[in-house]
């Protein structure tokens, strides 16, 4: 409403100011509520759990990697399985590095410990002589509502000229508590078990 001089009536100005203040208070409250409900963000890395040379093979020469992940695992958020067809991807529990690289590093460390070999190399190293390589494909890596962590996939041994020498699948599982840290530890344990199984296979005549 305007007065006779053409300016806004003081009462209208006051009401407008109150409306703006109310809107700002509501916005601020909503923003604070959203921040408080989001919770902290935690970052995790896998650990190399192998402790001793259980499959001695000091002369084993091998390039470990690359590791290939299923599409649904190619993300920073950790994945939990709710049902057979429903998966939850966390916004707050995140991998601290690329998961494929982390698995590759842990596999390499485990295999070095298990075999006692100093001739194992990570994938991508430049300037080393061609040698057989180990490629790993991860189809499933998650924990479910029943407290079971699972690791499933396949591995392939290739000659130095990239011919397939061996191919095997794996399906491993173990129990895990409900905490994220426990689930990460369980996955590390599964990778350790996979490492030992691979070491035994590589040092055993497939025939």
Instruction: List pLDDT tens digits, range 107-154.
Output: 999 999 999 999 999 998 888 788 999 999 999 999 988 889 999 999
Q: What is the residue whose two structure tokens read 């053409």? A: 6
Whether residues 114 and 189 fall in one domain: yes
Whether residues 154 and 64 fall in one domain: yes
Alpha carbon of 28 to those of 15, 24, 25, 181, 199: distances in Å?
20, 6, 5, 34, 58
Whether residues 34 and 55 fall in one domain: no
Q: β-pairing, 133-144 with 148-158?
A: antiparallel
In a domain, 30, yes or no: yes
Residues 6+ apart with CB under 8 A from 154: 136, 137, 139, 167, 168, 169, 170
Q: What is the mean pLDDT of residues 44-72?
A: 95
The proportion of the chain whose per-residue pLDDT surpasses 70, expressed as a percent, equals 80
141 touches 187 (CB < 8 A): yes
Mean of the per-residue pLDDT values of the chain? 87
Q: How confident is the model at residue 127, as a pLDDT?
A: 80
Q: How confident is the model at residue 21, as a pLDDT?
A: 61
Whether residues 26 and 68 fall in one domain: no
Q: pLDDT tier at 101 (50, 70, 90 boundaries)?
A: very high
Q: What is the mean pLDDT of residues 184-194?
A: 97
Choice among 17-21, 39-43, 67-71 with the minimum mean pLDDT: 17-21
* φ/ψ bin of 40: left (φ > 0), alpha (ψ from -120 to 50), beta (otherwise): beta
Whether residues 112 and 16 fall in one domain: no
Assigned token pair, 151? 């690791």
Kindly report the CATH number assigned to the domain that includes residue 81.
3.40.50.10610
Q: How confident is the model at residue 163, as a pLDDT?
A: 97
Alpha-carbon distance of 134 to 68, in angstroms, equals 11
Whether residues 94 and 11 fall in one domain: no
Q: How confident is the model at residue 124, as a pLDDT?
A: 87
Burial class of 8 by CB neighbour count within 10 A (0 to 12, 13 to 18, 19+): exposed
Whether residues 82 and 170 fall in one domain: yes
Q: Is it the case that residue 45 has pLDDT exceeding 90? A: yes
Whether residues 54 and 15 fall in one domain: no
Q: How confident is the model at residue 22, as a pLDDT?
A: 61
pTM of the model: 0.80
Q: pLDDT tier at 20 (50, 70, 90 boundaries)?
A: low
Chain centroid to CA 48: how far?
14
The proportion of the chain whose per-residue pLDDT surpasses 90, expressed as a percent, equals 70
In the chain, count of helices (H) and strands (E)? 3, 8
Q: Is it the case that residue 13 has pLDDT exceeding 60? A: no
Q: How many domains does the chain have?
A: 2
Q: Is it the case that residue 16 has pLDDT exceeding 80? A: no
Whether residues 78 and 166 fall in one domain: yes
Q: What is the mean pLDDT of residues 180-192?
A: 96
Q: Is it the case that residue 40 has pLDDT exceeding 60? A: yes
Whether residues 14 and 50 fall in one domain: no
Whether residues 133 and 103 fall in one domain: yes
Q: Is it the case that residue 51 has pLDDT exceeding 50? A: yes
Q: Domain range for residue 186?
A: 42-202
In a domain, 207, yes or no: no
Q: How confident is the model at residue 8, as a pLDDT?
A: 55
Whether residues 29 and 99 fall in one domain: no
């Amino acid at each position: 409403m305007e007065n006779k001089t053409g300016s806004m009536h003081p009462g209208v100005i006051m009401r407008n100011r109150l409306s703006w203040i109310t809107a700002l208070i509501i916005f601020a409250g909503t923003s604070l509520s959203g921040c408080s409900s989001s919770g902290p963000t935690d970052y995790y890395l896998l650990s190399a759990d192998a402790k001793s040379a259980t499959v001695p093979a000091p002369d084993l020469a091998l390039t470990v990697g690359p590791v290939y992940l299923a599409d649904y695992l190619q993300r920073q958020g950790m994945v939990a399985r709710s049902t057979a067809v429903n998966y939850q991807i966390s916004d707050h529990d995140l991998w601290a590095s690329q998961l494929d690289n982390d698995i590759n590093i842990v596999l390499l460390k485990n295999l070095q410990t298990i075999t006692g070999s100093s001739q194992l190399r990570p994938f991508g190293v430049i300037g080393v002589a061609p040698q057989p390589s180990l490629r790993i494909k991860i189809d499933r890596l998650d924990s479910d509502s029943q407290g079971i962590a699972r690791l499933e996939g396949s591995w392939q041994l290739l000659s130095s000229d990239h011919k397939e020498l061996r191919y095997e699948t794996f399906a491993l599982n173990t129990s895990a508590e409900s905490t994220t840290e426990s689930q990460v530890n369980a996955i590390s344990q599964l990778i350790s078990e996979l490492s030992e199984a691979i070491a035994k296979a590589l040092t055993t005549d497939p025939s």
